[in-house]
């Protein structure tokens, strides 16, 4: 999927509940993907952690490649790594339709965003809860998506930090119709999904609120319904 196709796909289905595979059962990965497909999700969020940028290790290129071979769903690959410039091209080749990097990473992020787009993928830029919006504002023209972290990255199951809501509101007020998509990640559940959508979130990354339940379809449907209710209310 091209960068433009990815963005168009998200614009058509927003607000979208996006399962984060961090908490799925990797011993039964194909079955997990089939259950998510049956739940009618529109894309998947993959968290890549290096044990350096964040204090945890997850998975890398082979898992992204395996997921891409197994499903036709678009892949939103979130690189929580120190030197993303070294790996962007390889993750796009592995199947990433969007690659998101952190403003807090070591590499020159303007160049990395350009590198992502040159590779044909949508470019996402993430910022952690303590990072002010002023730090990313000069880079917004290079962003297809801005990922506002509502937890410190590294581990699933954390509580939602409401500092993300003000950032989403500000970004939403500043963007025009062609502005970047807004994504939020961390602590999204039945209680927090409404305020996130009201604040402008288009993509809602959900982990434990889906994977800790037996019926993924029921959970995705409930969260999607809540998101649409709040999305309609703000229009």
What are the two backbone dihedrals, phi and then psi, of residue 102, each rounded to the nearest 5 degrees? -100, 135
DSSP 27-52: GGHHHHHHHHHHTT---EEEEEEBSS
DSSP state of 20: B
Q: What is the 3-state secondary structure (H, E, C) of 204-216?
A: EEECHHHHCCCCH
107 is annotated as an active-site residue:
no
Which is catalytic among the residues 68, 76, 144, 185? Answer: 185
Which is catalytic among the residues 47, 68, 97, 144? Answer: 47
Q: Is the peptide bond before 70 cis (omega within 30 degrees of 0)?
A: no
Q: Report the C-alpha gap between 197 and 180 in whole angstroms.
A: 15
185 is annotated as an active-site residue:
yes
Q: Which residues are catalytic?
A: 47, 185
């Amino acid at each position: 999927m091209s960068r433009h196709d990815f963005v168009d796909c998200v614009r058509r289905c927003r607000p979208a509940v996006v399962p984060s595979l961090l908490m799925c059962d990797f011993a039964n990965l194909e079955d997990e993907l089939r259950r998510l497909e049956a739940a009618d999700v529109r894309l998947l969020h993959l968290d890549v952690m290096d044990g350096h940028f964040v204090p945890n290790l997850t998975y890398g290129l082979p898992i992204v490649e395996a997921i891409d071979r197994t499903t036709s769903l678009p892949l939103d690959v979130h690189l929580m790594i120190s030197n993303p410039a070294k790996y962007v091209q390889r993750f796009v080749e592995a199947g990433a339709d969007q690659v998101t990097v952190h403003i807090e990473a070591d590499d020159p992020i303007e160049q990395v965003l350009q590198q992502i787009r040159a590779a044909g993928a949508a470019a996402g830029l993430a910022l952690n809860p303590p990072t002010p919006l002023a730090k990313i504002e000069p880079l917004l023209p290079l962003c297809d998506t801005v990922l506002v972290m509502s937890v410190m990255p590294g581990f699933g199951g954390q509580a939602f930090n409401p500092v993300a809501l003000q950032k989403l509101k500000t970004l939403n007020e500043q963007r025009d119709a062609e502005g970047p998509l807004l994504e939020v990640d961390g602590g999204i559940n039945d209680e927090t999904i409404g305020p996130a959508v009201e604040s402008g979130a288009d993509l809602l990354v959900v982990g434990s609120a889906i994977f800790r339940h037996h019926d993924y379809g029921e959970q995705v449907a409930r969260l999607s319904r809540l998101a649409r209710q709040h999305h309609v209310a703000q229009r």
